[in-house]
Amino acid sequence: MGSRFDITIVAKDSLTAEKSIDAVIAEVTRIEYLISDWKPETQISEVNRMAGIAPVKVTPEVFALTERALCLSKITKGAFDISFAAMDRIWKFDGSMEEMPSPEAVKKSVEKVGYQNIVLDKKNSTIYLRKKGMKIGFGALGEGYATDRCRDLMLARGIPAGIVNGSGDMSTWGQQPDGSDWMIGITNPVDRDSLFAVVPLKQSAVVTSGSYEKFVEFNGKRYSHIINPATGYPSTGLTSVTVFGPSAEVANGFSTSIMVLGKMKGLKLLKKYPAYSCIMITDDGEVVASPNLDMSQFVPEQ
């Protein structure tokens, strides 16, 4: 998936652990060949090639994932949009940008973005993109979906505990061999070499979205690499958002959306989904937690 996956397995012996890790790798690879939008042989690539031409029949698994992504696009009113893949990459976060893009260029960059133009036919299991040049992509959900699937696979195989971490999209289950909870570190966005806090997790998922690695600054204002698909402008105001909950797929969708929505709208969104909680760090260093997050479990890093 173009991302690093770290796999930790608790098993009765090394052979079982190795076989389990191989099974996780095979599952991640299987999912990649279903949903990647840069491998030409995948179903999603075929959907994108047929944009504006005809619907494409996909497997029930791909259809269900697309359906959930479209639902997330709707509930966030486009702050999350699976058709972001068609966005022109006019913002550069490699140090080469010297000035803001023109308003005209920004507007043009999102002309083919719009979840409203995705048509799903459940009866026939087809996906159709109404506009030629439209694309859908699972860059903001794929790793989370894969880690959730791998966790479920390991539980079904009787593996009592482990962590599958897909580039920061983390699904955990069970406990460490000594009976203690898994301890997850949250990166300090001010100093990436240190941790903001350590939090115990069990049978849970955690995902962090942040602008502390990729951003540009103009006139003292930080612009994140996470772009608002509705406007074409980068998100501002939040440096990082960490979301906790039962599913890494959903947590990833929420963390990305909240980066775009900002502090107040983000808290309002999450309030409707009490199984999920979050902690945000604003551009000026303020730490904000959703009311349902138990901060007493956090261990400040020394």
SS3 243: strand
Q: Which pLDDT score is estimated for 117?
A: 97
Quick one: 189 and 290 in the same domain?
Answer: yes
Per-residue pLDDT of the chain (302 residues; tens, 9 = 90+): 778 999 999 999 999 999 999 999 999 999 999 999 889 999 999 999 999 999 999 999 999 999 999 999 999 999 999 999 999 889 988 888 888 999 999 999 999 999 999 999 999 999 999 999 999 999 889 999 999 999 999 999 999 999 999 988 999 999 999 999 999 888 887 777 888 889 888 779 999 998 777 788 888 887 888 899 999 999 889 999 999 999 999 999 999 999 999 999 999 999 999 999 999 999 888 999 999 998 887 776 65
Note whether residue 11 is domain-resident. no
Instruction: Quickly tell me which residue has 């983390």 as its tokens.
Output: 170
Q: Which pLDDT score is estimated for 120?
A: 98
User: For the range 33-36, what are the long-range contacts, defined as Cβ-Cβ under 8 Å and sequence gap of 24 or more?
Assistant: 34/59, 34/61, 34/62, 35/62, 35/65, 35/138, 35/142, 35/145, 36/1, 36/142
Note whether residue 275 is domain-resident. yes
Note whether residue 201 is domain-resident. yes
140 marked among binding-site residues:
yes
Q: What backbone phi and psi angles, to 5 degrees, belong to 60?
A: -55, -35
Note whether residue 3 is domain-resident. no
Note whether residue 199 is domain-resident. yes
CA distance between the termini of the chain? 34
Quick one: 185 and 293 in the same domain?
Answer: yes
Note whether residue 14 is domain-resident. no
Quick one: 185 and 296 in the same domain?
Answer: yes
187 contacts 240 by C-beta, under 8 angstroms:
yes
CA distance 1 to 143: 7
256 marked among binding-site residues:
yes
Q: Residue 97 maps to which CATH number? A: 1.10.3980.10
Note whether residue 147 is domain-resident. no
Q: Which domain holds residue 49?
A: 43-129
Number of domains in the chain: 2
Quick one: 186 and 265 in the same domain?
Answer: yes
Note whether residue 197 is domain-resident. yes
Q: Determine which helix (DSSP H) or strand (DSSP E) holds 112, and give its type and residue range.
A: none
This prediction's pTM: 0.93
